Each structure stands twice: as structure tokens, then as C-alpha cells.
């Protein structure tokens, strides 16, 4: 029997490629850490059994229409809003993701954004580099907000929201949460109270977003929600950009409806070089790097390869988002 064929849309860690090569003929996009051009993806997907792709690739009906033999799309991310899962399921194609291993790393980054925003770390660093540190010390120099003792409102109490709650405890913060699916099991375990969204916005000093992007969560935080937040509050987002209405975020920051924000994800990535957000002092921005530690990015690659290989071997993948595919494939 011919060896299965696999296409990987980005240069990845060797551990993952080695694993794939044990079971398949593997081709990797040669681009220098650039997303694969759409036309090339459409061409490459034609005769492969497995595709390992990134959140920068939109895997939609058009891609599936080209794919004659595809059995699995392995997403190198936990979020899979870039994939039309219904379309995959209809065709008996598994979609897999990388949950769990990036939880703590992502929460570390969310907390770093929270701290950096509250304590104006980036502005202060810029001040020194601009050689503008003129007075030795001042009572009001880069004066920010306390973190300890404050209330952290978690929107989305999944794995990452839970990890964020644990960090809040270490800083003697009070944590409350909102989630469309109430998690009574976790409420006891974490000592965290469920709070309707509007109440959470009104009560929190920091609001941190940890929901997946779906039709329901698109623009979950917009003008109306900002108006309910404290003027002294900060918004942290490490989930997906479109969960927040970015125009409304800009207005809220500019008009000081809220005090600041720490943002890792944007409505359009890369962020437009002319984005007005860049002009603001009260926002700390990072380019979608929340899971970017060497340990986690390597583990994600191995997990994505493992998921893909298990489908090639006729097994159910360990991390699938559409397990119902099994029934479709049996028909």
C-alpha cells in the first residue's frame, strides 16, 4: 500500500516532522515563517491524506472541495474558528486541535498583560529608551493601579480561564466569572462566583476574556459593555480578536471610558500598520504570542502530529473537535 501523504503549511519543530515522517510522505511549505499563499494551499491539498495547518489558514468549503483524499485537518492551535468544522464533518474529515498543553502558558501571558497594563511597564520602559528619564524619582511618575486586592472578572471559565483564576488567587485578588455555560463544579473547587455579564463588567477592576470565537461570542464586548465597566478598569484579551469590537475598544481607551487594555489578539492579524490603537498610550499590545514558549510551541507541534498520525493509522485522534465524524465514516 502506498504511504499516505501529508502536507504541513509551515516550518515546524523537528520533533513533529520526524513523527509524521515515520508514517507518511511529508511535504512542508518552504515559506520563511509566512502563511502559505491560498492558491498553493488549494493545490497542495488535492492529493494529501492529512493536512497540518495553522490558525492563519482558513480551511473552508473551497479547500475541502479541492481535497480528494483528505481524512484529517490537524490545527496547530486550540482555537479552531479558522476551520469550517461542519463542512469537514459532512465529508467524514476529522478536525483536531491542541487543547490543554497551552493552557498555563497562555494564562501566564494574560497575567503578564494584566500586570504590564496596570503598572505601565511598557510606557516606563519606552521612557528610559527615549532617554526621557529626567527626574530621579517622583511621587506621580508612571503611577498605575494596584493588582493585589482587586477584582478579576473572567469571561469564559474553560481551561485558560481556570488557570487565570488560580493566578489571581496568588495575587490575593477576588475572582468572579461569567460563562454562557455555568460551571457549578468549578465554582466550589475554585471558590469563584458566577456573575451575569453586566454585573461582572460593573464589578471588575480587570476583565479577562477566555472564550472561543463563535457566532455567539463575536463582538461580545462592544460599546455598550465598555460603558458598563469602571473608568478605572482594564480589559485583557488573549482569546480571539473579534470577540471584542475593536473600534469600540479604541473609543473606550481614547475617551478613558476604561483605564487601559492588554491585548494579544486582533480583529485582523497582522494589525494594520495604520491602526489608531498604535497611537494610544493606555494599551499594551503583543502580536498573538500568548502560547509562545519554546516548551509549549514544541508540545503543540508534537500533539498536532500525533493527532494527525492517529487518523492515518485508522484510530480515533486523541484531540478531535468533531468526534461525530466516526459515524459518518462508517456509512
Query: Given the rule CB under 6 A, which residues bind ligand GLV?
Result: 55, 77-79, 99, 102-103, 158-161, 210, 291
As a whole number of angstroms, the distance between CA 144 and CA 301 comes to: 39
Using alpha carbons, select from 122, 121, 99 the residue that is nearest to residue 296.
99
The active-site residue, picked from 269, 279, 295, 316, is 269
To ligand GLV, the closest distance from the beta carbon of 214 in angstroms equals 13
Three-state DSSP state, 203: helix
Identify whether 269 is a catalytic site residue. yes
Question: Considering beta carbons, is residue 79 or 260 the nearer one to ligand GLV?
Answer: 79
Q: Which is nearer to ligand GLV, 5 or 210 (CB)?
A: 210
What is the DSSP code string of 161-180? Answer: HHHHHHHHHHTT-EEEEE-S
Residue position matching grid coordinates 489608531: 276
Q: Strand 72-75's sheet: what is its strand order? A: 25-28, 5-8, 50-53, 72-75, 94-96
- Which is the catalytic residue, given 240, 246, 267, 297? 240
CB of residue 157 to ligand GLV, shortest distance in Å = 8
187 in active site = no
The one catalytic residue among 23, 71, 167, 288: 288
**CB-nearer residue toward ligand GLV: 99 or 317:** 99
Which of 120/210 has CB closer to ligand GLV?
Answer: 210
In whole angstroms, the minimum distance from the beta carbon of 33 to ligand GLV comes to 16
Among 78, 1, 73, 22, residue whose Cα is nearest residue 308? 73
Name the residue nearer to ligand GLV (CB basis): 89 or 291.
291
Minimum CB separation from ligand GLV for residue 212, in Å? Answer: 7
The sign one gets for the Cα dihedral 168, 285, 270, 201 is: positive
Longest dimension (CA), the chain: 75
Residue nearest to ligand GLV (CB): 158
324 is catalytic: no
**Contact criterion met (CB below 8 Å) for 210 and 156:** yes
For the bound state, the minimum distance from the C-beta of residue 267 to ligand GLV, rounded and expressed in Å, comes to: 14
Which residues belong to the active site? 240, 269, 288
Amino acid at each position: 500500500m502506498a504511504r499516505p501523504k501529508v502536507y504541513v503549511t509551515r516550518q515546524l519543530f523537528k520533533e513533529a516532522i520526524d513523527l509524521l515522517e515515520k508514517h507518511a510522505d511529508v511535504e512542508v511549505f518552504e515559506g520563511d515563517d509566512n502563511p502559505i499563499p491560498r492558491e498553493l494551499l488549494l493545490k497542495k491539498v488535492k492529493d494529501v491524506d492529512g493536512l497540518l495547518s495553522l490558525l492563519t489558514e482558513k480551511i473552508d468549503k473551497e479547500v475541502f472541495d479541492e481535497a480528494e483524499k483528505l481524512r484529517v485537518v490537524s490545527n496547530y492551535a486550540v482555537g479552531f474558528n479558522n476551520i469550517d468544522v461542519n463542512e469537514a464533518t459532512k465529508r467524514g474529515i476529522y478536525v483536531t486541535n491542541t487543547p490543554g498543553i497551552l493552557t498555563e502558558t497562555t494564562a501566564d501571558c494574560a497575567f503578564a498583560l494584566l500586570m504590564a497594563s496596570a503598572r505601565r511597564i511598557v510606557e516606563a520602559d519606552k521612557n528610559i529608551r527615549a532617554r526621557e528619564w529626567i527626574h530621579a524619582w517622583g511621587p506621580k511618575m508612571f503611577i498605575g493601579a494596584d493588582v493585589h486586592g482587586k477584582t478579576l472578572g473572567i469571561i469564559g471559565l474553560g481551561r485558560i480561564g481556570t488557570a487565570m483564576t488560580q493566578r489571581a488567587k496568588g495575587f490575593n485578588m477576588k475572582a468572579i466569572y461569567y460563562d454562557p455555560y455555568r460551571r457549578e463544579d468549578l465554582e466550589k473547587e475554585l471558590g469563584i462566583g458566577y456573575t451575569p455579564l453586566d454585573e461582572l463588567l460593573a464589578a471588575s477592576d480587570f476583565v479577562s476574556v477566555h472564550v472561543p470565537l463563535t457566532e455567539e461570542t463575536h463582538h461580545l464586548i462592544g460599546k455598550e459593555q465598555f460603558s458598563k465597566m469602571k473608568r478605572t478598569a482594564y480589559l485583557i484579551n488573549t482569546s480571539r480578536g473579534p470577540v471584542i469590537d475593536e473600534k469600540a475598544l479604541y473609543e473606550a481607551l481614547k475617551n478613558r471610558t476604561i483605564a487601559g487594555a492588554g491585548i494579544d489578539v486582533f480583529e485582523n492579524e497582522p494589525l494594520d500598520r495604520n491602526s489608531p490603537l498604535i497611537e494610544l498610550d493606555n494599551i499594551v499590545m503583543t502580536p498573538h504570542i500568548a502560547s509562545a514558549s519554546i516548551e509549549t510551541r514544541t508540545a503543540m507541534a508534537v500533539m498536532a502530529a500525533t493527532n494527525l498520525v492517529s487518523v492515518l493509522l485508522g484510530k480515533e485522534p486523541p484531540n478531535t473537535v468533531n468526534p461525530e465524524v466516526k459515524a459518518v465514516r462508517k456509512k
